[in-house]
A and B are shown apart, each in its own frame.
Chain A
Amino acid sequence: MEAFIDFFSFHDPNVRLVVLGMLFISLSSSLVGSFAFLQKKSLVGDAVAHSLLPGIAIAFMISGSKSPWVLILGALISGWISILIMDFLTKRSKIKTDTAIALVLSVFFGLGILLLTHIQHSYFGNQSGLDKFLFGKAASLTLIDIQAFGLVTLVIVALVGVFYREFKLLSFNYEFAKAIGMPVKALSFLMNTLLVLAITTGIQAVGVVLMAALIIAPAAAAKIWTYSLSKMILIAMGFALFSSLVGSFISYTYINMPTGPWIVVILTFFTVMSLLFAPKRGVFSRIKRQRENSLKINTENILKALYHLEEGKSTLFEWHKLDQILEKRTFNKVTLNNSLRQLSKKNWIVLGEQKVKLSKAGELEARRVVRLHRLWEMYLTKRMNFKSDHIHSNAETIEHIITPEIERDLILELGTPKVDPHSSEIPYSD
């Protein structure tokens, strides 16, 4: 608890630095990552992260300086080169996209490690400052680092702001953008630059290997909540920010704990939760929808059974034993009880002792379903030339889906038919 207050009161200047650094990194990574995600270039982000290393090493070797600006420049150049190479390989050789990405990733990274270890041996361990690019050392960010991050983030946010519409079109519909004459090559180059910049700052928090998570996970988690790009970006930023704060807090409290992996674990948690619980497209929403579909099917089938029991008879709204319904259809006990309960709740049936009867409203509803069944059978026969022994089972399914709008279309197309292909009367609600 103490640590919590300590950290979040931000009175420790180190904490302030770390939090500020995390803020910038989360913003730029999730922003850039959203576009990369939409263009299905998530793994390119992974390759770029690995490719920055040799640039950083060479920049140090040439300049002897560990100033963030120098290193960023080196990273930028080697990041650009890696993107160019991946592009070249895919377009001008047999090599496929995934191989190009994996190849560039491993070769550049290997070169980076080679150079880093070379520096380690020949510059008497003076490369300690370069280590943070490999594993990320969010805890030891300096003011200069933060200034660099801040500027980079500012540039990224500004450029995305200016070119928002163009980036959006490029991500959703590249071919169309090209067709209407947008300068797609220049814009792609710009987006790639922003990607490299964001990754350059990001790897200092989480390290090279885990950088891909900062790019991919926020977008993956956010996308399922909304169809709007701007909302998606904001949600992604939210996830990223929260995760990086909590991750930093954990490594602040438990000294040995590395920041990067915790940020990734929390981010992934958000992604999985989103994929499971998001409304409409989440896994549980879909299961719920399927349950609702089943309930609808079952309740409507019971209504139909009751209707059939009374069809053509002189007395309606009679009590029918449950057994009579079970004679017409198989139901398992639980399903039957659930459905009866639902029907009773909607006042479509009246429940008795092992018996039920239709209410007035229930009879109308039953009539509707039977009508849809018979209309659909007519449609299949007249417009689709189905054989008479095929239409029934098909109609058994479709009768539950037909909306009032489609019902109107059907009646119109078929010319308000009086009977179905089996010569049963089609019950309209008069």
Chain B
Amino acid sequence: MTPTVQKYLTQTKMNDLYIISTAVLVSASCGLLGVFLILRKMAMVGDAISHAVLPGIVLAFLFSGNRDSITVLIGAMVLGILASVLIEVIHKKARLQEDAAIGVTFTWLFAIGVILITLFSRQIDLDQDCVLYGEIAYVPLDLWFLESGVNLGPRALWVAAGLFIVVILFVTLGYKGLQITSFNEEFAVSVGISAIVWHYLLMGMVSAVTVASFEVVGAILVVALLVGPAASAYLLSKRLPTMLVLTIVFGVLSSISGYYLAKYLEGSIAGAIATMTGFWFTLSLAISKIKKPRSVVSKQG
């Protein structure tokens, strides 16, 4: 093995590591929040928010001039919360049924986002493909250099790590609040706990996570990561802590297997990871059926 090939291989392995680590951190962050989304039967609201933040990202990008800033994060978070407020208003005040309120809101916001991208295509460096499925493969290329010239590694990896820490803090600190408002909202309110506050806290966090993951993995993958691993964990968990841990496990499995699948097929990594969330879900479903064969489940709630 020549030194150049060896160097290339090591470098590739390093790139692999960067990409996979970023994917793992993003999927863990999305998954943990996704647990509460599916327990509250709000999976599609999560889908809606991930589309609705697009105009926020574009506008913030325009104002701040670059795509990596806090402005983008805040701008999109605002839009995520705005979207969930809009859905509520259209549903309650204009009296449109909830599924239609969700559908109309997020398609409209996403359409505006795409139009804005086209209008300002010169000032901003986003294209439709990137928006849909990001390009996590570029992660190793976008390195973060300090003034002193020290290479801290890929910027996206740092963002993902920061995100993960924030999510862990949120879920740990807010565990009881999220748990009780997801399980029995009426009881929570009767004890004086504000269901509305926890709702909007969760929506805000989902918006933030969506945005931060957006650039790396695009809109569609975010949904897959919000819902897939959590759904897989749901089938196999008796208790909430288990579900949270298993979600991370499934997220990790999907990220790693997805990465290698993409490499093998020379296709989109984001798409592959999304596909693999489906694979692991099927496996989890099979395991759950074996553990407890029930042909008809009594539906409640």
Q: Which of B104-112, B176-184, B197-205, B207-215 contacts A (4 or more CB under 8 A)?
A: B104-112
Report 20 cross-chain contacts, Cβ distance below 8 Å, ordered by A residue: A46-B103, A91-B296, A93-B235, A93-B288, A95-B231, A99-B231, A103-B278, A106-B220, A106-B227, A110-B224, A110-B271, A110-B273, A114-B261, A114-B267, A213-B111, A256-B118, A261-B111, A264-B110, A268-B107, A275-B95
Q: Which residues on B sit within 8 Å (CB–CB) of A355?
A: none
Q: Verify B104–A110 contact, CB threshold 8 A.
A: no
Of the residues A95, A113, A281, contact of B133 by C-beta under 8 Å: A113
Q: Verify A107–B102 contact, CB threshold 8 A.
A: no
Q: Which residues on A sit within 8 Å (CB–CB) of B268?
A: 113-114, 116-117
Q: Does B168 sit at the interface, judged by CB under 8 A?
A: no
Q: Verify A102–B227 contact, CB threshold 8 A.
A: yes
Q: Does B42 sit at the interface, judged by CB under 8 A?
A: yes
What residue in chain B is nearest A256 (Cβ atoms)? B118
Interface digits, B65-99 against A, CB 8 Å rule (1 contact, 0 not)?
00000000000000000000000001001111101
Q: Which residues on A sit within 8 Å (CB–CB) of B108?
A: 213, 264-265, 268
Given contacts A103-B227, A256-B118, contact A40 B278 (CB under 8 A): no
Query: How far apart are the CA atoms of A116 and B272 in the complex, in Å?
Result: 11
Q: Verify B112–A265 contact, CB threshold 8 A.
A: yes
Please name the 8 residue pairs, one residue from A and one from B, whose CB atoms are nearest each other, closest first: A110-B274, A107-B278, A114-B271, A113-B271, A106-B224, A261-B111, A213-B107, A118-B267
Q: Which residues on A sit within 8 Å (CB–CB) of B121?
A: 256
Q: Does B115 sit at the interface, judged by CB under 8 A?
A: yes
Q: Which of B10-18, B43-51, B141-149, B159-167 contacts A (4 or more CB under 8 A)?
A: B43-51
Q: Verify A92–B295 contact, CB threshold 8 A.
A: yes
Q: Verify A121–B107 contact, CB threshold 8 A.
A: no
Chain B residues 245 to 301 lying within 8 A of chain A, measured CB to CB, are 261-262, 265-268, 270-275, 277-278, 281, 285, 288, 295-297, 301
Q: Which residues on A sit within 8 Å (CB–CB) of B265?
A: 114-115, 118
Query: How far apart are the CA atoms of A209 and B51 in the complex, in Å?
Result: 9
Of the residues A37, A114, A260, contact of B111 by C-beta under 8 Å: A260
Q: Which residues on A sit within 8 Å (CB–CB) of B261?
A: 114
Q: Which residues on A sit within 8 Å (CB–CB) of B36?
A: none
Q: Which residues on A sit within 8 Å (CB–CB) of B90?
A: 275
Closest-CB distance, B270 to chain A (whole angstroms): 7
Query: How far apart are the CA atoms of A96 and B234 in the complex, in Å?
Result: 11
Q: Which residues on A sit within 8 Å (CB–CB) of B295?
A: 92
Given contacts A265-B112, A275-B96, contact A210 B273 (CB under 8 A): no
What residue in chain A is nearest B131 (Cβ atoms)? A209
Chain A residues 198 to 230 lying within 8 A of chain B, measured CB to CB, are 209-210, 212-213, 215-217, 219-220
Chain B residues 104 to 157 lying within 8 A of chain A, measured CB to CB, are 104, 107-108, 110-112, 114-115, 118, 121, 128, 132-133
Interface digits, A15-51 against B, CB 8 Å rule (1 contact, 0 not)?
0000000000000000000000100111101100010
Of the residues B42, B112, B275, contact of A107 by C-beta under 8 Å: B275
B residues contacting A by CB (< 8 A) are 38, 41-44, 46-47, 51, 90, 93-97, 99-100, 102-104, 107-108, 110-112, 114-115, 118, 121, 128, 132-133, 219-221, 223-224, 226-228, 231, 234-235, 261-262, 265-268, 270-275, 277-278, 281, 285, 288, 295-297, 301
Q: Does A134 sit at the interface, judged by CB under 8 A?
A: yes
Q: Verify A102–B274 contact, CB threshold 8 A.
A: no
**Inter-chain CB contacts under 8 Å: number:** 205
Q: Does A112 sit at the interface, judged by CB under 8 A?
A: yes
Q: Verify A283–B235 contact, CB threshold 8 A.
A: no
Q: Which residues on B sit within 8 Å (CB–CB) of A37?
A: 97, 100
Given contacts A110-B277, A121-B266, A216-B103, contact A265 B43 (CB under 8 A): no
Q: Does A409 sit at the interface, judged by CB under 8 A?
A: no
Q: Verify A265–B235 contact, CB threshold 8 A.
A: no
Query: How far apart are the CA atoms of A209 and B41 in the complex, in Å?
Result: 21
Query: How far apart are the CA atoms of A96 and B275 in the complex, in Å?
Result: 20
Q: Which residues on B sit within 8 Å (CB–CB) of A117?
A: 266-268, 271
Q: Does A101 sit at the interface, judged by CB under 8 A?
A: yes
Query: How far apart are the CA atoms of A91 and B285 in the complex, in Å?
Result: 13
Closest-CB distance, A289 to chain B (whole angstroms): 14
Q: Does A70 sit at the interface, judged by CB under 8 A?
A: no
Q: Which residues on B sit within 8 Å (CB–CB) of A103?
A: 43, 227-228, 231, 278, 281
Q: Does A276 sit at the interface, judged by CB under 8 A?
A: yes
Q: Verify B132–A134 contact, CB threshold 8 A.
A: yes
Q: Does A98 sit at the interface, judged by CB under 8 A?
A: yes
Closest-CB distance, A269 to chain B (whole angstroms): 9
Query: How far apart are the CA atoms of A105 and B51 in the complex, in Å?
Result: 13
Query: How far apart are the CA atoms of A265 and B107 in the complex, in Å?
Result: 9
A114-B274, A212-B103, A264-B110 known, 11 other contacts, Cβ within 8 Å: A92-B296, A94-B234, A95-B234, A96-B41, A106-B274, A107-B228, A110-B278, A213-B107, A262-B111, A265-B115, A281-B95
Of the residues A114, A115, A220, A283, contact of B93 by C-beta under 8 Å: A283
Q: Verify A275–B262 contact, CB threshold 8 A.
A: no
Q: Verify A106–B223 contact, CB threshold 8 A.
A: yes
Query: How far apart are the CA atoms of A264 and B133 in the complex, in Å?
Result: 21
Q: Verify A276–B94 contact, CB threshold 8 A.
A: yes
Q: Verify B104–A220 contact, CB threshold 8 A.
A: yes
What residue in chain A is nearest B264 (Cβ atoms)? A118
Q: Verify A40–B97 contact, CB threshold 8 A.
A: yes
Q: Verify A216–B104 contact, CB threshold 8 A.
A: yes
Given contacts A40-B97, A220-B100, contact A99 B227 (CB under 8 A): yes
Query: How far apart are the CA atoms of A114 and B277 in the complex, in Å?
Result: 13
Query: How far apart are the CA atoms of A41 and B102 in the complex, in Å?
Result: 12
Closest-CB distance, A406 to chain B (whole angstroms): 27
Closest-CB distance, B170 to chain A (whole angstroms): 21
Q: Does A159 sit at the interface, judged by CB under 8 A?
A: no
Closest-CB distance, B177 to chain A (whole angstroms): 22
Q: Which residues on A sit within 8 Å (CB–CB) of B231?
A: 95, 99, 103
Q: Verify A113–B274 contact, CB threshold 8 A.
A: yes
Chain A residues 102 to 148 lying within 8 A of chain B, measured CB to CB, are 102-103, 105-118, 121-122, 134-135
Q: Verify A213–B103 contact, CB threshold 8 A.
A: yes
Q: Which residues on B sit within 8 Å (CB–CB) of A248?
A: none
